[in-house]
Amino acid sequence: MADNKAKSGQAKSGRLLDIRNLRIEATVYPPGEPPRTITLVHDVSLTLEKGKVLGLIGESGAGKSTIGLSSMGYGRGGVRITGGEVILNGRDILKGGKEGLRKLRGREVCYVAQSAAAAFNPAHRLMDQVVEATLLHGTATRAEAEKRAVALFKKLSLPNPETIGERFPHQVSGGQLQRVMTAMALCSEPDLIVFDEPTTALDVTTQIDVLAAIKDAIRDTHVAALYITHDLAVVAQVSDEIVVLRHGRLVEWGGTRQIIKEPRQEYTNALVSVHEIEHQEQQPGTAPMLSVKNVTAAYGGGHVKVLKNVSVDIFPGQTLAVVGESGSGKSTLARAITGLLPPEQGSVVFDGRTLGNRLADRPKEDLRQLQMIYQMADVAMNPRQTVGTIIGRPLEFYFGMRGRERDKRVAELLDEIEMGKGFIDRYPAELSGGQKQRVCIARSLAAKPKLIICDEVTSALDPLVAHGILKLLLNLQQVEKVAYLFITHDLATVKSIADSIAVMYRGEVVRYGSKSKVLTPPFDAYTDLLLSSVPEMEIGWLEKAIAGRRMESAGN
Amino acid sequence: MLDIRRIPIAALIGIVLTTLFVLAAVFAPWIAPHGNAEIVSDVPWEPMSSVHWLGTDNLGRDLLSRMIYGARITLFIAVLATALSFSLGAILGFSAAVFGGWFDTILSRLVDLLMSIPTLIMGLVVLSVLPSNLVTLILVMGILDSTRVYRLSRAVAVDINVMDYVEAAKLRGEGSGWIIFREILPNALSPLVSELGLRFIYAVLFLSTLSFLGLGVQPPDADWGGMVKENKDGIVFGIPAALIPAAAIAALAISVNLVADWVLNRTTSLKGGRG
């Protein structure tokens, strides 16, 4: 009876998912304190109509993934759903027990993970993984499922749709793998797909293709979707409605147009307007501090050329941004400058003297002047060393500081990166993503360098946190007069930090000059593609961008 | 920092037993009721009694006393051999991973060569040629075992050596000493500690094997393995004297591994074991 009632109610409203007063808790083990329970999601309610797309957006820790996964009754990493109802297709899935969930997952609800590369099993062919859920649920025979998969590959515009299923995950590119994963989710014809940051790990030029493919597939299959991301511009392209979350609470819920055009809450407004940092471009000085002269570098004993005749200059106290997609050789340029990958030809001139090609040939003083900050702050710091050791080591190593003098300087540096003294004894695992990157910045500053190479330092961070890091870097540049070589694929970042820009494509510098010069039309085809691929917070941008571009992206 | 109430029961049992073994080994001359080689009974294999708690052995010596002295020899040799194999194996393994190139190749092939000969055969050959004393015994056991540790630590260090934080240290200009001992070692400790518990027991067993074959500890001294050998004939007559040292080996194996597991749990924490 109750079942019938629910079904008829559902038919009337077309409501697919109804989350009511969802409460999610987890037990944490803080240092030096007894374990306690914290609430990650506070009584959030939301609904999703059939065939609609709901965007969930917020910073890390806002609970967006946690809420998304609750629609499959799943709590990641010891997270418990302790209250509320998750009603899917008219029944509360939290009451269905293990058996009920097993029937639900992979059939009614499917999941697309952020990192497809990590989510695929490298030991099995793509096709076997794509049709697995369909076969296990017995909704189709293998032949039917494979036919369906091939049709989906076509729809997602994957190359060689007939044969791509025979490949292994490492044999296709990241953007393709993400689309195969979408095909996997669609294959069992579910009612709902949870997309968990599906394009965050991709280059802008690849992101736009994947985004378009996902959008088309959603439209053609009439599946409903929860689209989780921290990028408002991305979610604006695909969703009908947007839910803004913060600290596990619902901040604002409205139509896409209303959220991005007329945000009602202050926090939403902050998210919408986050990207702009005003940065006055500095004119290049007379003598460059670091010149890269005709550098050619290769991996594999000269077989794979990754840098071809690259020349750029960096002036004291200024920022050179190196832009390009993955594989364009921008990180390799950093490795050639630091001496990690000795160039085959060409030289690096620093302060008027030619630097040794190999790391081992360089004196300590040269090493001190050139510091580096990495993309992944968590692996750039030794997890077994405290913040005090991490920041203090360059002080000991370069300046011979010991004991109290060293601790005092560490405290000063912590102050400079806007973190308190209390962090000195913490381990990296006890810091948030933004704090980790700040500690890495302090470590490089401790050496009092003239140049810091920043390799995608904000790519792994939330927009608001990245914004803070960029501001910090700009402030530090004012105070310490340090120059930056800023490697990134994000053009919004470039606009807010660079004085000059070098655009790299397949190991060559295709466009180079001051910021205003590089960002002023007429553009070459590649710069145009890069610029037009940066998502804009505008409805209908995606279609316009796809229609208007002049070349295909390489990641395709 | 170390709260005794937070130690799990299994680890507590392990700690208590291991401590007992160690205490017995250290204070053997004061604890043991009789001398190691002192014959106290005319009859071999006297049953357990209030005078001789564990009975007597095949020559009529007090078994409890011999067990206590045996603990001393067993632990002494096993500890030193394990320490040798770990310092040698880990340092060489880490160095091979950090330096790479020909250093790594030569060392790794040498280790392969050593490992291709069964340890026991190798030990038998070397020990029957060299003079039979404690130093050679420890050296042979340590070096043979270090090949295993080398393989493990090299494999672990190769993975760690490509991490960004090691690269950052190299960019800073750090020497190999800092990289090996301060960057790699702390991060390789977990697999090494778990291996340590296992290897220590292998050392005890290997020593027992050697003694059983007559190439280990020479009489009248005996480690536990040697004592099994001395008393093995009694088993046919239903005399349990051989089982007691065997049980001691088993108890030591289990207790040491209980402790190693617990240390392992603590070292895997990335929050300084505070969580």
HEC profile of A178-193:
HHHHHHHHHHCCCCEE
Distance CA A501, CA B101 (A): 39
pLDDT at B265 over 80: no
pLDDT of residue A368: 92
DSSP string, A484-521: EEEEES-HHHHHHH-SEEEEEETTEEEEEEEHHHHTSS
Are B270 and A30 inside 8 Å of each other by CB?
A: no
- B275 contact residues in A (CB cutoff 8 A): 29-31
Are A429 and B164 inside 8 Å of each other by CB?
A: no
Give A72's Cβ-side CA count (13 Å radius): 27
- B156 contact residues in A (CB cutoff 8 A): none
Distance CA A378, CA A355 (A): 30
Nearest residue on chain B to A374, judged by CA atoms? B164
Here the tokens at position B185 are 């070692």
Chain A positions contacting chain B at CB under 8 Å are: 29-32, 338, 340, 359, 362, 364, 367-368, 370-372, 374, 376, 379-386, 393-394, 397, 427-430, 443, 447
pLDDT of residue A2: 41
Contacts of B200 (CB under 8 A, 6+ apart): B78, B79, B82, B256
Nearest residue on chain B to A394, judged by CA atoms? B172
B24: left (phi over 0), alpha (psi -120 to 50) or beta: alpha
For residue A384, the distance in angstroms to the closest alpha carbon of chain B comes to 6
**Which residue, among B1, B2, B99, B172, would best test binding to A if mutated, counting the most A CBs under 10 Å from its CB?**
B172
pLDDT of residue B3: 60
pLDDT at B155 over 70: yes
Are A359 and B171 inside 8 Å of each other by CB?
A: yes
- A382 contact residues in B (CB cutoff 8 A): 165, 169, 182-183, 186-187
* Exposed / middle / buried, residue B253 (Cβ in 10 Å: 0-12, 13-18, 19+): middle
Query: Any CB–CB contact under 8 A between B186 and chain A?
Result: yes
Distance CA A247, CA B7 (A): 35
Q: How confident is the model at residue B80 (pLDDT cuts 50, 70, 90)?
A: very high
Burial pattern A111-142, b for ≥16 Cβ within 10 A else e, equals bbbbbbbebbeeeeebbebbbbbbbebeebee
**B218 close to B201: Cβ distance less than 8 angstroms:** no
Q: Any idea which residue has 């374990």 for tokens?
A: A35
Nearest residue on chain A to B168, judged by CA atoms? A380
pLDDT at B274 over 60: no
* Exposed / middle / buried, residue A301 (Cβ in 10 Å: 0-12, 13-18, 19+): exposed
pLDDT of residue B217: 81
Q: Partners of A19 in the beta sheet? A: A46, A86
Are A374 and B163 inside 8 Å of each other by CB?
A: no
pLDDT of residue A556: 43
Distance CA A526, CA A508 (A): 12
Here the tokens at position A388 are 């005090």
For residue B27, the distance in angstroms to the closest alpha carbon of chain A comes to 38
**Which residue, among B164, B170, B176, B184, would best test binding to A if mutated, counting the most A CBs under 10 Å from its CB?**
B164
pLDDT of residue B144: 92
pLDDT of residue A7: 41
For residue A319, the distance in angstroms to the closest alpha carbon of chain B comes to 21
Report CA-CA distances (Å) from B162 to A302, B44, B152, B154, B170: 21, 63, 17, 13, 11
- A383 contact residues in B (CB cutoff 8 A): 187, 270
Q: Partners of B268 in the beta sheet? A: none
pLDDT at B57 over 80: no
What's the full length of chain A, in residues? 556
pLDDT of residue B102: 93
pLDDT of residue A401: 87
Distance CA B140, CA B111 (A): 14
Are A428 and B270 inside 8 Å of each other by CB?
A: yes
- B271 contact residues in A (CB cutoff 8 A): 31, 427, 429-430
**A518 close to A354: Cβ distance less than 8 angstroms:** no
pLDDT of residue B87: 93
Are A385 and B274 inside 8 Å of each other by CB?
A: no
Query: Any CB–CB contact under 8 A between B270 and chain A?
Result: yes
Are B170 and A359 inside 8 Å of each other by CB?
A: yes
Q: Any idea which residue has 């007894």 for tokens?
A: A34
**Which residue, among B160, B167, B176, B179, would best test binding to A if mutated, counting the most A CBs under 10 Å from its CB?**
B167
pLDDT at B107 over 90: yes
ipTM: 0.77
pLDDT of residue B91: 93
pLDDT of residue A3: 42
Collapsing DSSP to helix, strand or coil, A40 comes out as: strand
Contacts of A33 (CB under 8 A, 6+ apart): none
Q: Give alpha helix (H) positions in A2-137.
A: 2-13, 64-70, 97-104, 116-119, 126-137
Q: Any idea which residue has 């709590």 for tokens?
A: A75
Q: Which of A372, A382, A394 lies closest to B187 in CB terms?
A: A382
A189: left (phi over 0), alpha (psi -120 to 50) or beta: left
Phi, psi torsion values for B272, nearest 5 degrees: 70, 25
The residue type of A285 is G
pLDDT of residue B4: 63
Residue with more model confidence, B88 or A65: B88
Query: Any CB–CB contact under 8 A between B3 and chain A?
Result: no
**A413 close to A395: Cβ distance less than 8 angstroms:** no
For residue A22, the distance in angstroms to the closest alpha carbon of chain B comes to 29
Q: Which of B170, B183, B272 lies closest to A382 in CB terms?
A: B183
For B30-35, what is the mean pLDDT?
A: 80
Angle, in degrees to the nearest 10, between helices A142-155 and A126-137: 130
pLDDT of residue B111: 94
Q: Which of B165, B173, B274 lies closest to A31 in CB terms?
A: B274
Query: pLDDT (tens digit, 9 = 90+) per residue, A275-318?
Result: 667 777 777 777 888 889 888 988 877 777 888 889 999 998 89
Long-range contacts, A96-102 (Cβ 8 Å, 24+): A101/A72, A101/A73, A101/A74
pLDDT in tens for each of the 556 residues of chain A?
A: 344 444 444 444 578 888 888 888 888 776 566 778 888 888 889 889 888 899 998 887 788 888 888 888 888 777 888 888 888 888 888 888 888 888 888 888 999 887 777 888 889 999 999 999 899 888 889 999 999 999 889 888 888 888 888 888 888 877 788 889 888 998 888 999 999 888 877 778 878 888 888 888 888 888 899 999 888 888 888 889 999 988 888 888 988 888 888 888 888 887 777 566 777 777 777 788 888 988 898 887 777 788 888 999 999 889 999 988 877 888 889 989 998 888 888 889 988 888 888 888 888 888 999 999 988 888 889 988 999 999 999 999 999 888 889 989 999 999 888 887 788 888 888 888 888 899 999 999 999 999 999 988 887 787 778 888 888 899 899 888 899 999 988 777 888 888 999 999 888 898 898 888 888 888 888 888 888 888 887 788 888 887 777 666 544 4
